[in-house]
Amino acid sequence: MKRIYLDNSATTKVDDRVAKTVYEYMTEKFGNASSAHSFGQEAKYALDNSREKIAKVINAGVNEIFFTSGGTEADNWAIKGIVAMYLDHNNPVHIITSAYEHSAVYEMCKFYSRLHPELITVTYLKPDDRGLISPESVISAVSENTKLVSVMHVNNEIGMINNISAIGKFCRATNIVFHTDAVQSYTKVPIDVKAMNIDLLSASSHKIYGPKGVGFLYIRKKISILPNQFGGHQESGMRTGTENIPGIAGFANAAEISADEMKVEIPRITKLRDRLYELISAGVDDIIVNSDLEKGYGGILNLTFPGVEGEALLLSLDLEGIGVSTGSACSTGEIKPSRVLSAIGRTAEEAQSSIRFSVGRFNTEEEIEFAAAKVIEAVKRLKEMMN
């Protein structure tokens, strides 16, 4: 059976060039970067070189990149590292974030507001009718106790690109710490942390054809934040524990490749996504597009198929060897509507009838045409069954 992977926003296949690097540092250059002997120094060189490559992509300083186990840890650290500093002094904290943030940010904010309701309040901004968090909504939500704003760069479900530069400019002028989750945008959308006035930025390797289990948090030099882990000197004492050198070296290689190929690869991916939409919309009459395709990231297409259960469509496509994701998230044994789609105004029924297609580096036009044909067939068959 022909297998087609259209879930690249969930994770990506490791690029062969990256896999070679990971293998090399697992089997040949396997030393501990903290060791004084040549094996360790070889690993230390890889660590330093990787940090330099990763920082270069976003115009950051090498001492501003702190490696983590992935995007979730980086997001968690950004929130708790700032909030905990104020809690230490029993000071009230107001956080501004969005209603469609990744759970790593959203749930962390909820946790702290439940843990310290007398000190911590959170404003969850709703996206506008274009699916964007406007800078104006951030400005309007600010109070005297606002200490942190966290707004994602590219939304992982609908692909809309927020104007984080304008948000960052406002936050810098008002001395509010600004964090952005760039897990879906790092090496896919141009980022300059200095020009965009970003204080904290999270990214992950496995979204850019690198290995799983590694990410980073960018922390601007002048930002005070609590360490994420204790018990060693690694990562300048901010995130201790033996560094994952194979993962970090692979991440750096993946970042370098993706950044170098961005200008060619993103237009190619966008063309494939647009072709997929063109073919599906020609064969299915009543679909709803859940984003602005002209202004969003070119790799994500989120569609609602009214009258069709998203889970049923996903399973039908999976039987054809096609991997996609739904607009629903399974939680405690029941299907709940996507928080993202609910935030942009979709009903529970519409959200549960939605599919996210995310195109990536290894997809071809032939795959897109095959997948579109199977989507059309499956939708028609499921509608007939429902009727």
Give the amino acid at 42.
E
Other residues' Cβ atoms within 10 Å of the Cβ of residue 306: 15
Query: Quick one: the chain helix, strand, coil %, rounded to 5?
Result: 45, 15, 40
SS3 327: coil
H or E segment and range at residue 339: helix 339-343
Q: Rounded CA gap, 270 and 300, in Å?
A: 8
- State the angle between helix axes of 103-115 and 71-87 in degrees (0 to 180), rounded to the nearest 10: 30
What are the angstrom distances between the C-alpha of 215 and each of 46, 96, 99, 150, 220? 16, 24, 24, 18, 16
Residue 171 appears among annotated catalytic residues: no
User: Helix (H, G, I), strand (E, B), or coil: what is residue 92?
Assistant: coil
Q: What Cα–Cα distance (Å) separates residue 95 from each residue in 110, 149, 226?
A: 10, 6, 17
Contacts of 115 (CB under 8 A, 6+ apart): none
d(CA 219, CA 197): 12
102-132 b/e (C-beta count within 10 Å ≥ 16 → b): bebbbebbeebbeebeebbbbbbbebeeebb
- Residue 175 gets the label, from left (phi > 0), alpha (psi -120 to 50) or beta, of left
Q: Which of 115, 288, 330, 385 is catalytic?
A: 330
Residue 186 contacts residue 326 (beta carbons within 8 Å)? no
Q: What are the catalytic residues?
A: 330
